[in-house]
Structure 1
């Protein structure tokens, strides 16, 4: 059977919980026989569980099937530099977004060795982990960290190194992109989302979903807002973005530019300055400046860690679905 058909069945099982073959055939546009053949294979390898008989919509008894979330777990973690301190935060999840553990490691200096030590410790404690997803503050391209808040990770193909050392498929993503995916997952799969990160005392950053897909650009540079043409140097950004009073005019510039270039349905402000921004004020200024009947909805999230982990879980789940 085709890989696409198997992937489609996996996806439906994850979304619906328990389902019968006729219901599955209707949702996938596959024949009942095809669904039965694929399900038998998935039951045989332990990926799917066949449960007790229940009554189908047609009134006849039918076996129901559900995805076995215990079969495989994901290690989702991100490296964080905040307030002059470095730390590694993790959650252990599954393809149905269940939570099986969480915590953090304090680090003096995050580098490949310290990251690997944390991962190996967690793998030893959780042998069901079959996939790893990692978030990094910085530019990421095909698993390599091009630049970040962690100098010792720059230039390292983190995905390759982790897979070599652990034997487990590993996927690495930019933090803002992961948060954008997580926000979408948490909000009915909203397809056009802009995340505007406004940290206190650090340059801004962004992550964007366009039609449900991460906007990366030609060189994975999309969202690097510290290169926005502000009328001051990048070094001065640390001082300008240290408080709302000095940062507000430039936050407005980024907001207007985001609407003009991307026209998202939702713009989410997060970071240390987000809680000090006035939604009513930004809404009014956006309407006065852009004069459009339909404008993005504005939201403010002080702590985006839940969205971050949701995004990393989504990344792991999407790659997991590709497996035969």
Structure 2
């Protein structure tokens, strides 16, 4: 029985992915894109139509024979609410975004708060919540807030730099391995290798504060551009030497990128060097990562 459910789940994924990627398909097109038989497509589409996950998109223009009905995923069947909160100065900024099944942002709200607690967070969530929201995904600063018992929706709490790495991977699909480096405070990494997030045994993979060479006193000074740049060189040297990724997305303030790359080329061959991508913040990457894993979880639940 479990094997049958597993096959059905994979087949539902194939149909949904094809419909989303192609923007809609006929049954024969689904046979072509998924490799499934027409009878399997017929059976699964009938169930998906009943649940309103898939809707009819009208008849396609005839090419000589009978016109064929087109099908597409109902983008409004389910929405994901992603909430990301991050500290800056003495303020916490809370950002909420609603996404449909096509990963289109439907709404965004932002609020600056002096303190983030359960009531503040729930008040913000309830302003954005609607009947179509099936999943709530949170990425919060270091604070102990548990709201799972308050909502009927599935609630996920995720590490921001891990979600940022997934988002960076989705943004830069040309790379099989990519690292997101947050070098603004206590440096942290999000690591994606061959499309898989690396979290480690207890989810501390990428916490560069545990590497003693990076905490060396000579490189703690972040007040000057030179100090920050020297520290970044050390961080990148460790990342390249240990992981050798194709690309590193770097979130950092006031860096001399020419100095960084010149110093790294004294250590590594040009062929060893990853593509270095500098960004001011990784809000979009975090949101993209949260939306992606929430949608995957939703599809997984629907296809059981």
Q: With structure 1 as the length reference, what TM-score do the two structures score? A: 0.84
* 2:267 paired residue number: 289
In the aligned structure 2, how far is the partner of 1:206 from the partner of 1:231?
A: 13
Secondary structure class of the residue paired with 2:58: strand
Contact 2:209–2:215, Cα closer than 8 Å, also in 1: no
Structure 2 unaligned runs (5+)? none
Alignment pair present for 1:212 and 2:195:
yes
Moved more, 249-258 or 3-12: 3-12
Q: Which residue of 30, 49, 58 maps to 1:24?
A: 30
* 1:140 paired residue number: none
Residue-pair matches, total: 296
Alignment pair present for 1:121 and 2:127:
yes
Q: Which residue of 151, 157, 180 maps to 1:172?
A: 157
* 1:42 paired residue number: 48
Q: 1:31 to 1:242 in 2, by over 3 A?
A: farther
In the aligned structure 1, how far is the partner of 2:37 from the partner of 2:101?
A: 25
Contact 1:132–1:170, Cα closer than 8 Å, also in 2: yes
* 2:15 paired residue number: 9
In the aligned structure 2, how far is the partner of 1:249 from the partner of 1:107?
A: 34
Q: Which residue of 77, 83, 95 maps to 1:71?
A: 77
* 1:141 paired residue number: none
The Cα shift of 1:295 comes to 2.3
The Cα shift of 1:55 comes to 4.4
Secondary structure class of the residue paired with 2:134: strand
* 1:143 paired residue number: none
Contact 1:53–1:62, Cα closer than 8 Å, also in 2: yes
1:101-130 residue CA offsets vs partner (Å, 9 max, x unmatched): 10112222112332222212322xx22111
Q: 1:112 to 1:209 in 2, by over 3 A?
A: same
* 2:176 paired residue number: 191
Contact 2:214–2:235, Cα closer than 8 Å, also in 1: no
RMSD after superposition: 2.3
Alignment pair present for 1:223 and 2:206:
yes
The Cα shift of 1:302 comes to 0.8
Q: With structure 2 as the length reference, what TM-score do the two structures score? A: 0.89
* 1:299 paired residue number: 277
Secondary structure class of the residue paired with 1:61: coil
Structure 1 unaligned runs (5+)? 138-147
In the aligned structure 1, how far is the partner of 2:63 from the partner of 2:11?
A: 23
The Cα shift of 1:317 comes to 1.1
Contact 1:13–1:19, Cα closer than 8 Å, also in 2: yes
